[in-house]
Chains A and B, each alone.
Chain A
Amino acid sequence: MTETAPFFSDADLAGDFYTRRFQPGPSENTLILNMGPQHPSTHGVLRIVLEVDGEYIVRAEPVLGYLHRMHERMAEEKTYLQYLPNMGRVDYLHALAWNWAFVGAVERLAGIEVPERAEYIRVITTELNRVASHLVWWGAYLLDLGAFTPILYAFEDREWILDLLQTPTGARLTYSYFRPGGVAADIDKEFLKGAKDFAVHMRDRLKMYKDLVTDNIIFRKRLEGIGPISLDMCRRYGATGPVVRGSGLAYDVRRAEPYSVYDRFEFEIPTTGSGDAMGRYRVRMEELEQSLRIIEQAVDSIPEGEIRVKGAPKVKWKAPAGEAYFAVEGGRGKIGVHLVSDGSNRPYRCKLRAPGFSNMSLFGEIARGILLADAVAILGSLDLVIPEMDR
């Protein structure tokens, strides 16, 4: 089976490297199908080569790299401060978590203290951003499953957050707001009030979301028991975030390796043991509630003070030689930045650990033997952000 299958050569549709390498299986009745790179349910340019037997998937292989922008390489070409805008563009939905992962790594590398107020600001804005990220996931996931209305409701609520975050950050999506040693701009009373009002408003909406979608019988039938992921599989692939929590392990970086001031807030780590798409869905919906709790607590207890430490890195700043790793909990799982410095003003190496990549890797295994229509439900439940996977 090393020759190209006649189907391709006869029709002169030899395909590209990936389709040729993806050899047809032992059965003659299967069809090789490309899902993506332009496909409405892959949200960006993810391509999955599928071998289907009728409606059933025999094999699936994700093909990545369409959005590879060499972020890691770019880090080696730019100074530490110049690299910050890149972080807003790795995962556009939860940009602040990536901001945080990078400045956190720089701070750990250089031993920079962060003022307490800045830490609180980071918590509040990152949690708001997490809610926004989950809302986009929620809307888009239901859109994949054929429900059009929810995304409009989700975007209505997300608009609140974007308007709020626009004031201190100046942007609506690709934030570049955190700085080593603090944040770029202070937040005012109005912002804090807005954040609190939003939490109240969002609670109300979550009830509506539950009535409209979570309790809907068609929706539940579509998700329950679909795409079960065992804990063992999560371990093998390094899945984190709502995926591993949906499989029953309460692993959350905010609790497992507490950073910043997260240890001062009360919040739970929602888990479900079912491991199916519905479990992951429930975990994320519960996480929205937990994020709101954190926001409320942080708004109530935010101290006054500096937002940026004196002597924070400036343009010509050089990092001390050494290595540092910093991990934060992003909307999709554990985000890690590993910096190696040789003492110059640019990182010698910068490794970005994207949770989406690990979460997506297990798709090939769970897709075996499922219906094509369920593949969409599973992909959506993994909450993939393609630019993050490709980096």
Chain B
Amino acid sequence: MDLGELDARKGFFKETLAGLWSLVVGLKVTGKYFFRPQITVHYPRRTVDNIPSFRGPIELISREEDPAKPKCGACSMCVSACPSGCFTVTKKRPPAPTPEEIAEQKEKEARGEKVKKKAAPKEPERFLYDYSLCSLCGTCVEACPSGALRFSASPYRAAFDRKELVFDLLADLAERAREDRNPPGTGKTTE
């Protein structure tokens, strides 16, 4: 056996030993883990505890004095701010004039005075929100001049059909008010 061959053999053994050693080291790391407590959460039986900070679908904030009424002034700012066109907001129409009012108006007209029509109340008639388009970016929340929008904290709004993801936010608000789970201000609703 010449020296070169001896060296080659030595190298081979060295490498084999090094390889076996790295196997031991790796097994030590994973072995330690084997006896550690579990860190994953078995979902339906347990949930994680930081859901409130998650941005869920948009919801309306109610007025201080009436939990069923939104702060929204139907200005449609959110409609134009949203990149995906998630919102459909229609303003309430002015209330129909009573017979007395009509008579009064006619009188005024006859006298040649200017007739002032009743102003429409600054409230939304309909407030639809398409969650299937929403990217939860928060542009609408920042754009709303009345501070009427916020993110909810409900991550479980899954559906089988796109249409089910068009939420009527006014109905949603009314329901929350009925069930008395409507935190004021920017506090979020959790499911």
The chain A residues found within 8 Å of chain B, CB to CB, are 78, 81-86, 88-89, 149, 153, 156, 163, 166-167, 170-172, 174, 176, 179, 184, 208, 211-212, 215-218, 314-315
Contact = CB atoms under 8 A, between A and B. Distances in A.
Given A208-B29, A212-B26, A217-B15, A170 B143 contact: no
Interface stretch (B47-55, B90-98, B104-112): B47-55
Contact of A171 (B25, B26, B55, B143): B55
Q: Of residues A78, A81, A83, A89, which shows the largest number of chain B Cβ atoms within 10 Å of its Cβ?
A: A81
Nearest to A179: B142
B139 A82 contact: yes
A315 B81 contact: yes
B103 interface: no
Contacts of A314: 143
A172 B136 CA distance: 11
Interface of B: 15, 18-19, 22, 25-26, 28-30, 33, 39, 50, 53-55, 77, 80-83, 135-139, 142-143, 151
Contact of A211 (B29, B135, B151): B29
B55 A315 contact: no
Given A82-B81, A163-B50, 16 more contacts: A81-B81, A82-B139, A84-B83, A84-B139, A88-B135, A88-B137, A149-B30, A156-B39, A170-B136, A171-B55, A171-B136, A174-B135, A184-B138, A217-B15, A217-B22, A315-B80
Contacts of A86: 83
Nearest 9 CB-CB pairings of A with B? A170-B55, A82-B83, A85-B137, A176-B137, A85-B135, A217-B19, A315-B81, A212-B29, A216-B22
Nearest to B143: A315
5 contacts: A85-B135, A85-B139, A176-B136, A218-B19, A314-B143
Contacts of B55: 170-171
B50 A81 contact: no
Contacts of A83: 83
A118 to B, nearest CB: 15
Nearest to A165: B53
Given A149-B30, A163-B50, A315-B81, A215 B137 contact: no
A222 to B, nearest CB: 13
B139 A81 contact: yes
B19 A176 contact: no
A192 to B, nearest CB: 16
Contacts of A81: 81, 139
